[in-house]
Amino acid sequence: MKIIKKKVYVPLAVDFLHAGHINILKTAKKYGDVIVGLLSDEAIANYKTIPILKYKNRELLVKNLKYVSKVIPQQSEDYTFNLNKIRPDFLVHGDDWKYDNRKKIRSKVITILKKWNGKLIEPKYTKNISSSKIRSKIFEIATLPQNRVSRLKRLMTSKKIVRILESHNSLTGLIIENLKVEKNNIYTEFDGMWSSSLTDSATKGKPDNSSLDFSSRISSLNDMMDVTTKPLVFDADNGGQLEHLPFLIRSLERSGVSAIIMEDKIGLKKNSLFKNQSGTQQDKPKIFAKKIKKICLSRQSNDFLVIARIESFIVGKGLKDALSRAVIYSKAGADAILIHSKEKTPAEIFSFAKEFKKSKYFVPLVSVPSTYSKVYEKDLIRNGFKLVIYANQLLRAAYPAMQNAAKTILEKTRAFEIDKKIIPIKEIINLIKND
């Protein structure tokens, strides 16, 4: 007689394996055959940032554990689909979800299980796993260039919109790395850093006209890479000489950069937000396309993204020019298109998106809402944008604060008055952990 074993469903994310996972799986095994519902990047992106390890690697870890019979993907944070498909006799989950923002999901699971008399087993959550050891291990894994490079592409395929903020030094990199804001039980954070030619140059007291060469730009970004794990998008101006591009790409990939953004301009560079763009010249689309192709051929990994930035609206050309360029750049291999604008509203970039969406050469769109800053991310998403770059806000915030501190000391001939408006030294020391 064939004994039908009970089915036990265990949902897991498993970015790195620890004793808590083993405790859960060991308990689950006592009830029958363990089927792990491994949360996909998309499922996890709904409530926190995606794991460091790719799905395939996480699957490999879990599949080879002796307590596990089978691993299937759980594509959403909601359990309904998998539970109805498997109809497990038991579901095992740590009891921590009783107390946090997953309460609602938990009660829905209980209701579904009731349909076939399934039971929820909740072992006590394993505390006191050495989180600092785990944190430093994660840091090591996450900062390996091959893991960091691919992270942006993974974020773009698993999130509705990827949110990037300008970073001009290690300290701003740390803000982007660590800041989390909770709203309606959902944690939001920045997904990565923008190495801006404008703010990197300004920080070094130089104009945004490529006077900072690529070696200085790479040295600045390496400082940020030393202390962060999140992906970085590199502003390469017009990319420089076609023949030099392979060397630039090699250096960027070696540093762990995830994407290059290259603008279709030639001649002495002028920042696109300047009102007067006389003298600014756009490159011929076919010539610029050659640069895109060159990068595609020279990159080591297809996870390193080439983003073509169209300046048609900046130089006063219209939608037609922008659209024809978008098709040419996409055919040449661009993974995404940044359609730049210095208007006060997103109307022109939205009309571009609407038309470009109809093309079979459509690729994800990138927005830099510096002048049309009233736009909400939800509107960008609705219009087909996948990446938003807040390109200069941290430097703009820091500069007046520092200017004011300096001015106050001069005016008062002492530092006491400004003391109340600036953070204590202790906080600066704590900010930089050295464990």
Q: How far is CA 163 from CA 112, 168, 177, 230, in A?
A: 35, 16, 12, 11
Which helix (DSSP H) or strand (DSSP E) does residue 61 occupy?
Answer: helix 55-63
DSSP 39: E
What is the three-class DSSP state of 248?
A: helix
Q: Which residue, 36 or 176, has its beta carbon nearer to ligand SPV?
A: 176
Nearest CB to ligand SPV, comparing residues 237 and 335? 237
- By beta-carbon proximity to ligand SPV, the closer residue of 156 and 338 is 338
When CB distances are held under 5 to 8 angstroms depending on the partner's kind, the choice from Mg ion, ligand SPV, none that residue 272 binds is ligand SPV
| Binding residue count for ligand SPV, defined by CB under 6 A | 12
Q: Binding Mg ion by CB under 5 A: which of 89, 166, 177, 235?
A: 235
| C-alpha dihedral, 237 to 242 to 247 to 248, nearest 10° | 10
- What is the rounded distance in angstroms from the CA atom of residue 353 to the CA atom of residue 415? 52
How far, CA to CA in Å, does 38 sit from each of 2, 58, 70, 72, 413?
29, 8, 10, 6, 62
Give the per-residue contact string, 326-365, with ligand SPV (x = CB under 6 A; - = no). Answer: ----------------------------------------
Q: Counting beta carbons within 10 angstroms of the beta carbon of residue 377, is it exposed (0 to 12), middle (13 to 18) or buried (19 or more)?
A: middle
Binding of ligand SPV by 198 (CB under 6 A) = yes
Give, as ranges, the residues between 199 and 258 that touch ligand SPV (CB under 6 A): 208, 235
Stretch that binds Mg ion, among 136-144, 173-181, 198-206, 368-376 (CB under 5 A): 198-206
Least distance to Mg ion, CB of residue 196, Å: 6
Interacting partner of 282 out of ligand SPV, Mg ion, none (Cβ under 5 to 8 A depending on kind): none
Q: Considering only CA atoms, which of 247, 265, 240 is closest in space to residue 315?
A: 265
Measured from the CB atom, the residue of 42 and 348 that comes closer to ligand SPV is: 348
CB 277 within 8 A of CB 315: yes
From Mg ion, ligand SPV, none, interface partner of 273 (C-beta below 5 to 8 A by class):
ligand SPV
User: Which amino acid, 276?
Assistant: N
- State which residue, 35 or 198, has the beta carbon closest to Mg ion: 198
Active site residue: 208, 264, 303, 335, which one?
208
What are 242's two structure tokens? 């076609």
Q: Is 208 a catalytic residue?
A: yes
Q: How many CA atoms lie within 13 A of 242 on its CB side?
A: 13
What residue 368 binds from ligand SPV, Mg ion, none (CB within 5 to 8 A, per partner kind)?
Answer: ligand SPV
Nearest distance, CB of residue 364 and ligand SPV, angstroms: 18
Q: Can you tell me which of 368, 387, 394, 395 binds ligand SPV, judged by CB under 6 A?
A: 368
CB of 198 to Mg ion, least distance (A): 5
197 lies in the binding site for Mg ion (CB under 5 A):
yes
User: Where on the phi/psi map is residue 210: left (φ > 0), alpha (ψ -120 to 50), or beta?
Assistant: left
CB neighbour list of residue 406: distance below 8 Å, 6 or more residues apart = none
Between residue 248 and residue 277, which ones bind ligand SPV under the rule CB under 6 A? 271-273
Site residues, Mg ion (CB under 5 A): 197-198, 235
Applying CB under 6 A, which residues contact ligand SPV?
196-198, 208, 235, 271-273, 368, 370, 391-392
Instruction: Provide the annotated active-site residues.
Output: 208
